[in-house]
Structure 1
Amino acid sequence: MTTIYTLSQLGWSPFFQQQLSLDECEACVPARVVSQHRSYLVLYTERGKQELPLLASMPILAVGDWVLLTVDGAFHRQLDRLSIFSRKAPGRKVSEQLIASNINTVFIVVALNQNFSLNRIERYLVLTKDAGAEAVIVLTKSDLCDEPSSYVNQVQALDPMLMVEALDARDACCTEVLEPWCRAGNTVAVLGSSGVGKSTLVNTLLGEVTQATASAREADDKGRHTTTTRTLHLMKTGGILLDTPGMRELQLADCESGIDETFSEISELASQCRYSDCQHQSEPGCAVQEAIRASKFDERRLRSYQKLKREQAHNGASLAEKRAKDRSFSRHVRSVMNDVIQRKKG
């Protein structure tokens, strides 16, 4: 039996509707990418589920994208994105990797064990804020923690307006606190490192086992990969849930606005330093160091800010250089092809 969804159930909004011309409203079918495979995409439309072969002529698409199809199911064009999540590709490869698009809310999942890290939370916050999505910190495995409230307070200190929930991801009663973000039409992404309980949380929110789970290694609480693909699921509450593989490595690039928003207190103080190129170390008139001495925030926060600033600047420059080389190579190829065509005509 084919399950039929309305566009609003799939996350359609006026933002996407206003991009359609009158002709497209009549002749095209909106479809959302719900999963991606090596040679094809799985899409949901008001007509049901369908597969779309990946062609070289198509743009690079991500799970969550909206596209328009012709009446016979062929690709017509991609719609502009409401938000886009990307990172520098893991390892030494200089390229950008798309994670997901058109996400409204991100559940940043962190386990309350020895792998808990404020620096890692800040890294995910930068990614989320730079994409323009709302962040909710979900602290899992609270049942195994003696004082979960102390961790909640640590995270809350990063930003008094930040939403933080500590829970047992296996318990449906505990996860009810997340329902305000799982409302109809809202797309939620679950991001976090391997082994923090993301798949367990996804299974509980969906009310069924859709993802395999595995315990963390006892020696170091490091996780094992159990989710290997990105997939959109529809929740019983009406929301759309995106599960993602655990990330052992999340390198940031081109996300300066996300850093400035995540570390807004430091960014604002930096503009008050005596020197415009202040490194916030021992320079006279450093407003940031004065704030640390006044215990307005700690040294760890500044080190995290500086590390992410350096990383995004380095990766951003590397990606920009690669894009410039790619454009130069494309121009060279076109020039050679034009010369060949002209010689054949001559």
Structure 2
Amino acid sequence: MDSIAALVPRDRFLPLCPVETAAGTPRRVGVEIEFGGMTESEAARIVADALGGQVQPRSAHEIDVEGTEWGSVEVCLDTAYRDKAGNAIADLGLDLSRVVVPVEIVTPPLAPEHLPALDRLRGALRKAGAQGSREGMFLGFGVHLNPEIAEDRVGAILPVTRAYALVEDWLRKADPIDPSRRLLPFVDPYPRGFVDRLSEAGPRWTLDDFIDAYLAETPTRNRGLDMLPVFRHLDEDRVTGALGDAANAVSGRPAFHYRLPDCRIDEPGWRLAYEWNRWVMVERLAADRAALDRLAGDWLEYRGAFTTTRGDWFAHLESRLADLELWETA
């Protein structure tokens, strides 16, 4: 990892920016961890051992661990077809699908003081044989972070989306995501035309403008930062009207859906704190309006030049981010 990504802390969880919602409560985060190498029952027992609680099966492939230090934690086989369990053919198909379909742990919204337990659970799963993204060619397992938005207004969400769009190349290349996840469509990058619009017109957008631009340019869940859950929370009719039947797969919630990180749970040096802190860098850039506008101007200049390459933008990001030191402890 010959990049400033090596400077991102792994031993602590940096605070979100801002730390609190507009109502004055600490911002919380839901976390989804995908992995292979064990069954749902085995994973649920590890959750209970690490966090306390009792294992309560809901169905053949869905288990709740009730009464943990976090509350109720869901463990499931991450496929919509798990509801088909109950006959011999369906059960056989679901068991065979484990080669590529992950088990998923879904936490409730976590308070900041609960975040260190994420890495404690990661360590327990790793010791038990959990497998991550790079264990096989077609696994593509990920970690999804769902940080609560600070406020239901455009000023609380648009700058974060602009910041993510402008540094997405760095997030994807400084510590490259697994080839299987690059080839699969689940975390495709934002279209460059959308980044152009965010950079130039974005600061003047109303919430309606923002949602309309997003739905026109990237009406899909399959992005490293999926904004559809937030938009459905803020304006359900606009989102369902634009997506039609595809809206059935989008659950509205007041949280960013950051789904870019790999799950490298089987690798000794990997930590959930590292992926968390890369997201915090996005939020810190969003909070620095002057730095964000300067980077947007740099992007438009880069896009207007005829002799630049994609690598030139990555090199520029490395330089800008090195100056900003967004990974430093606040």
TM-score, with structure 2 as normaliser: 0.30
Is the helix fraction higher in 1 or 2? 2
Bigger relative CO (Cα 8 Å, ≥ 6 apart): 2
Is the strand fraction higher in 1 or 2? 1
TM-score, with structure 1 as normaliser: 0.30
- Which of 1 and 2 has greater Rg? 1
